[in-house]
């Protein structure tokens, strides 16, 4: 086992009240009663990751599969890693309002619409959810991989990989030391955010599952061929035996042949079912990351019509947060329609006041301009 795994176990024990002393290749751990019970270990336990040290000195070898290690990992994963976190305000000066507006016009596509500033930019914190999930892919084989998604905490729109890289590299704010002042925070919508994150994770898992299924195709073809050959031989042998069998045994052999044919059909169906990779996602980390940002209210104009919208510039990333359709929350490009602003799909639907979805954050109808 790697020393990293031993290090993990010692850290876990220490957090749970144990103390330990490193002594060369082994550590002497004093476990509190709860951990003694959980691991089935005595109060004083010498542990090592080195098989030779374990063999010579009698220290407990914490090697892969050891239940003490697995129980610690299971307990930590069950508790997970959750909380909120502020990113530090970036040192470089933020873009000017003119630049921000120019970038909005350059980067954000709004069909039939022109983006105009509708107010001053406001420094804010934008909540993002950062979700890390353990993805288990199971078919013929089983794999476990990690998938991570950062999504807008208001809408659930997933951030693109470049943005995620910048955010992951951004420094968190210094720990508390002096009293702060006031902070405006764009209100998170946790349910929407988690649903968006989950959808993004699922989409990735489906893509990965398809890749894995493609990789397994060759082996499955071989397996299907083997099964075909096996049953063909079995049926030939039964036919041969039937030819020379006494009349009273022939019905028995016929029944065996019928059972063999139905078993063959089942087997082949099962083999083809193996190509379908199932996945299971288990979230183990949920961080609400509050990212320094600039909030810019804009009007999207189509002729005389104006549709209010808010844009958020993520300062550590240097890009806008994903713009979503105010009706469905989808990430499709916006269209300034004759009656409303939305994605092409939503605009194609007739307006039905009774069934209209509540507007998503960032968008709404502004009173018509002059």
Residue list 274-293, contact with other proteins (CB under 8 A) = 278, 281-288, 290, 292
Here the tokens at position 335 are 């269209």
Residues numbered 250-279 forming contacts with other proteins, rule: CB under 8 A: 259, 263-264, 266-267, 270-271, 278
Taking the C-alpha atoms of residue 62 and residue 40, their distance in angstroms, rounded to an integer, is 13
Instruction: Tell whether residue 111 is a contact of other proteins (CB under 8 A).
Output: no
Instruction: Tell whether residue 42 is a contact of other proteins (CB under 8 A).
Output: no
Here the tokens at position 336 are 């300034």
Q: Which of 14/162 has CB closer to other proteins?
A: 14
- Closest by CA to 32, choosing from 20, 46, 21, is 20
List, in sequence order, every residue forming a beta bridge with 146; answer none if it has no partner. Answer: 134
Q: Which of 287/344 has CB closer to other proteins?
A: 287
Binding other proteins by CB under 8 A: which of 28, 38, 190, 235? 190
Taking the C-alpha atoms of residue 22 and residue 292, their distance in angstroms, rounded to an integer, is 42
Binding other proteins by CB under 8 A: which of 17, 19, 77, 345? 77
Binding other proteins by CB under 8 A: which of 89, 111, 214, 356? 89
Instruction: Tell whether residue 167 is a contact of other proteins (CB under 8 A).
Output: no
Q: Where are the beta strands (DSSP E) in 24-121?
A: 26-30, 44-48, 60-61, 81-86, 110-111, 114-117
Phi then psi for residue 84, to 5 deg, are -110, 160
Instruction: Tell whether residue 182 is a contact of other proteins (CB under 8 A).
Output: yes
Q: Which of 108/186 has CB closer to other proteins?
A: 186
Output the smallest distance, CB 348 to other proteins, in A.
25
Q: Number of residues interacting with other proteins: please give it, by CB under 8 A.
A: 119
Instruction: Tell whether residue 242 is a contact of other proteins (CB under 8 A).
Output: no
Torsional sign, CA 284, 290, 296, 297:
positive
Window of 5-13, 160-168, 338-346, 347-355 that interacts with other proteins by CB under 8 A = 5-13
Residues numbered 290-309 forming contacts with other proteins, rule: CB under 8 A: 290, 292, 294, 297, 308
Backbone φ/ψ region at 37: left (φ over 0), alpha (ψ -120 to 50), beta = alpha
Residues numbered 11-40 forming contacts with other proteins, rule: CB under 8 A: 11-12, 15
Window of 28-36, 75-83, 107-115, 345-353 that interacts with other proteins by CB under 8 A = 75-83
Q: For 25-29, which contacts have Cβ atoms below 8 Å and span 24 or more sequence positions?
A: 25/49, 25/50, 25/53, 26/50, 26/53, 26/57, 26/59
Q: Which of 142/250 has CB closer to other proteins?
A: 142
Non-local (6+) Cβ contacts of 181 within 8 A are none
Q: Which of 10/163 has CB closer to other proteins?
A: 10
Output the smallest distance, CB 76 to other proteins, in A.
4
Taking the C-alpha atoms of residue 348 and residue 324, their distance in angstroms, rounded to an integer, is 16
């Amino acid at each position: 086992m790697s020393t990293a795994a031993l290090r993990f176990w010692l850290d876990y024990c220490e957090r749970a009240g144990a103390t330990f002393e490193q002594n060369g290749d082994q550590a002497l751990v004093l476990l509190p009663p709860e951990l003694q019970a959980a691991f089935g270990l005595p109060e004083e336990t010498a542990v090592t990751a080195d098989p030779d040290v374990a063999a010579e000195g009698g220290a407990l070898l914490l090697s892969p599969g050891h239940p003490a290690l697995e129980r610690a990992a299971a307990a930590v994963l069950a508790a997970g890693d959750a909380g909120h976190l502020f990113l530090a305000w970036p040192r470089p000066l933020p873009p000017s309002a003119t630049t921000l507006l120019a970038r909005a016009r350059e980067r954000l596509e709004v069909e039939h619409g022109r983006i105009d500033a509708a107010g001053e930019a406001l420094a804010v914190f934008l909540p993002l959810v950062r979700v890390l999930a353990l993805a288990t892919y199971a078919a013929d084989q089983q794999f476990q991989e990690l998938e991570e998604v950062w999504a807008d905490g208001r809408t659930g729109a997933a951030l693109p990989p470049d943005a995620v890289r910048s955010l992951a590299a951004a420094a968190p704010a210094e720990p508390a030391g002096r009293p702060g002042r006031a902070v405006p925070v764009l209100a998170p919508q946790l349910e929407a955010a988690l649903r968006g994150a989950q959808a993004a994770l699922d989409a990735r898992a489906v893509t990965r599952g398809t890749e894995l299924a493609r990789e397994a195709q060759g082996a499955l073809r071989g397996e299907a061929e083997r099964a075909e050959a096996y049953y063909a031989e079995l049926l030939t042998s039964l036919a041969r035996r039937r030819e020379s069998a006494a009349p009273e045994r022939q019905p028995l052999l016929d029944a065996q042949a019928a059972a063999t044919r139905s078993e063959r059909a089942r087997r082949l169906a099962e083999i083809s079912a193996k190509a379908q990779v199932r996945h299971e996602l288990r979230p183990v980390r949920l961080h609400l990351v509050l990212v320094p940002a600039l909030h810019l209210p804009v009007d999207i104009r189509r002729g005389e019509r104006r549709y209010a919208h808010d844009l958020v510039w993520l300062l550590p990333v240097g890009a806008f947060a994903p713009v979503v359709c105010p009706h469905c929350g989808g990430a499709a490009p916006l269209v300034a329609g004759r009656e409303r602003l939305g994605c092409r799909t939503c605009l194609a639907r007739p307006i039905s006041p009774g069934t209209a979805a509540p507007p998503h954050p960032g968008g709404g109808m502004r009173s018509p301009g002059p």
